[in-house]
Structure 1
Amino acid sequence: MSRRDLIDPELRPILDALLEAMPGGFNAVPDIVQRRAAVDAMNSGVELPDNPNVAKEDRTIPGPDGEPDLTVRIYRPVNAEGTVPGIFYIHGGGMIMGSVQGEDATATLLCDQIGAVVVSVEYRLSPEHPHPAPVEDCYAGLVWMAKNAGELGFDPDRLAIYGASAGGGLTIATALIARDRGGPALTFMMPIYPMIDDTNTSASSEEIADIGVWDRAGNIEAWGWYLGGKPADQYAAPTRAQDLTGLPPAFIDVGTVDLFRDEDIAFAQRLMAAGVPTELHVHPGSYHAGENLAPDSALARRIWAGRLDALRRALA
């Protein structure tokens, strides 16, 4: 039996269509500029109607000390009553791709369904800007959001951080920095199938080599670009963190046919051992970001129901 045979039947057709249009998947495009353009073209091809319940605003904010300013997109629930919670949002893309616009639909969904102010950060990408530029941008955005809670209209005592894939790794790394630098305080973190281990030595890293969505070779390449030839620290690869105490309660989910499966399960176990309240979901048949490629599948509906329920409970 091949790994592809383990994929949920509803998630196979869209993956087959993707691979037919782009043999080998996105990571088969060798030039990073062309690869980004291919991803952007796919995202721009999905036209979604404006959500009348969500107001959006792009704003320029200060970056890390001595570094360029950042762009953030602010999402506010239109009909919110009273002070609402906040969610700091970090997009995915392997530290080398992705954008605020590319994940606009997900950030809008969180704002609408949770009734939260969401701030999504446009951090610098590798290889042009290797570690620590991306995570320092994320931390600067989080600091700005927390400092401006009053103007943004959310409760700073109910502030969560959310991200998937590379955004999940940056979510944990940013939470580690916030812990180590004395704030901002975080109520909750939701790293979704996070990219956290630069060693690529787990069993699932070896297994997931030809699914077509974020396979082993692409992951190794991305880590090389992100680290820029330097050794990883805990803020680059959170699996290297020796001390996980003091991190906010966590929710992690990952699929059984995801390259990050084993590193994420092991990290969740370490969080639990460190006394961090942690909820872990492992979804049979789901490949990396499968719920986004097949959003109408029963599996995707189950995945999103679990995430939204956890956020509501954490930010109530």
Structure 2
Amino acid sequence: MPLLAPALDPELNDLLAGLPPGGRLDVELLSAIRPFSVTPAETALRGHAVERRDAAAPRPDGTAVPLTVLTPAGGAPAGAPCVYWIHGGGMVMGDRFSQIDVPLDWLTAFGAVVVTAEYRLAPEHGGTALVEDCYHGLLWTASHAAELGADPDRVVVAGVSAGGGLAAGTVLMARDLGGPPVAAQVLVCPMLDHRNSTVSARQFTGRPAVWTGEMNAFGWASVLAGLGSAEVPAYVSPALAADLSGLPPTYVDAGTAEVFRDEDVAFANGVWAAGGDAELHIWQGGCHGFDALFPQARLSAAARRTRRDWLARVLDSTARPDIAARA
């Protein structure tokens, strides 16, 4: 018998009625739904005044992580921030154009350059492969920021769902490996804890949801199979990090009605306990990924506005005086 769970926002509840209910996920079903988890680039970018170029970040094995760079049409303004975006999809689906409208909002608002990464997916690739791909993409982004028209000191790492968890792991790697510097991290309903054992994970196990406890267990099992018997690193499952000191300003948000609520609250608490700066928003009635799924909903508009306002404050604090004077 599933635990009682917080109610959905009425508008989101109506919108969700048009989607098939989530439940279990396995390899066969994953194969069937993967094609629907990707968005053609032309569709994803339609209506946005951007210039696109593709790039590749080298991996140590000689292969490369595909990247796409999106710049405001006509070029980025002087001192523009750079957003390094990591897509969601439970670690098992999606591509670099998934949920791209989220960072494109910041491209429009701040003139930001957006770099989005195509990391390898589980179960074909597991263990540390996904987060290492994201880290190598960040290395490329930071080293090419000036060339792309952005300020190398204003690189923001951001992601949603699985991408939020990978963003957190990538920033931990950057801290521990000596760089590159990260100005802020934005973790949207991040997937942070492979143990899948919180109250919120149990509340959304055994009942339909956008992302259920059963689906979460499959996603994590797909990733962890690549580790064999090795201990799970905090870079893969950031909830395991014993030390959250030395992180950049951190924004975390989630809904009350989703699997990741409690692990996201715990992560923000960990940043505060280490003396760091974090802002946490748990949106009443929000399902998993509500503002990516339904940007037209009132709750989604509030979440996007609040996230954008926080990022504006952080970016204002990092602007170079000479650039700010010319703005």
Structure 2 distance, partners of 1:278, 1:289, is 20
Tell me which amino acid in the other structure corresponds to 2:10: P
Structure 1 distance, partners of 2:96, 2:53, is 12
Residue-by-residue CA offset, 1:165-200 (whole Å, 9 max, x unaligned): 110101110000000000000110011111111111
TM-score under structure 1 normalisation? 0.92
Tell me which amino acid in the other structure corresponds to 2:81: P
Moved more, 255-264 or 93-102: 93-102
Moved more, 98-107 or 142-151: 98-107
Structure 2 distance, partners of 1:48, 1:233, is 34
Q: Secondary structure at the match of 1:287?
A: coil
**Cα shift at 1:31:** 3.0
Asked if the contact 2:253–2:282 (Cα under 8 Å) also holds between the matched residues in 1, the reply is: yes
Aligned to 2:61: 66
Aligned to 2:322: none
Aligned to 2:8: 7
Q: Secondary structure at the match of 2:197?
A: coil
Residue-by-residue CA offset, 1:87-109 (whole Å, 9 max, x unaligned): 11100111111111223333322
Q: Structure 2 vs 1, CA of residues 46 and 61 (structure 1 numbering), >3 Å: closer, same or farther?
A: closer
Aligned to 1:156: 152
Asked if the contact 2:99–2:292 (Cα under 8 Å) also holds between the matched residues in 1, the reply is: no
For structure 2, the 5+ residue unaligned runs are: 317-327
**Cα shift at 1:51:** 3.7
Q: Secondary structure at the match of 2:279?
A: strand
Q: Does 1:290 align with 2:287?
A: no
Q: Structure 2 vs 1, CA of residues 193 and 129 (structure 1 numbering), >3 Å: closer, same or farther?
A: same
Alignment of 1:29-178 (within 5 A): 30-40=28-38, 43=39, 47=43, 50-51=46-47, 53-62=49-58, 64-79=59-74, 80-178=76-174
**Cα shift at 1:148:** 1.0
Structure 1 distance, partners of 2:55, 2:130, is 18
Q: Secondary structure at the match of 1:271?
A: helix
Q: Does 1:183 align with 2:179?
A: yes
| Equivalences, count | 310
**Cα shift at 1:232:** 1.4
Tell me which amino acid in the other structure corresponds to 2:83: I
Asked if the contact 2:23–2:215 (Cα under 8 Å) also holds between the matched residues in 1, the reply is: no
Aligned to 1:238: 238
Q: Does 1:221 align with 2:218?
A: yes
**Cα shift at 1:2:** 8.4
TM-score under structure 2 normalisation? 0.89
Q: Structure 2 vs 1, CA of residues 218 and 46 (structure 1 numbering), >3 Å: closer, same or farther?
A: farther
Percent of aligned pairs with the same residue?
Answer: 38
**Cα shift at 1:28:** 7.2
For structure 1, the 5+ residue unaligned runs are: none
Asked if the contact 1:84–1:116 (Cα under 8 Å) also holds between the matched residues in 2, the reply is: yes
Structure 2 distance, partners of 1:99, 1:219, is 18
Structure 1 distance, partners of 2:9, 2:279, is 23
Aligned to 2:261: 261
RMSD of Structure 2 on Structure 1 (CA): 2.2
Moved more, 239-248 or 110-119: 110-119
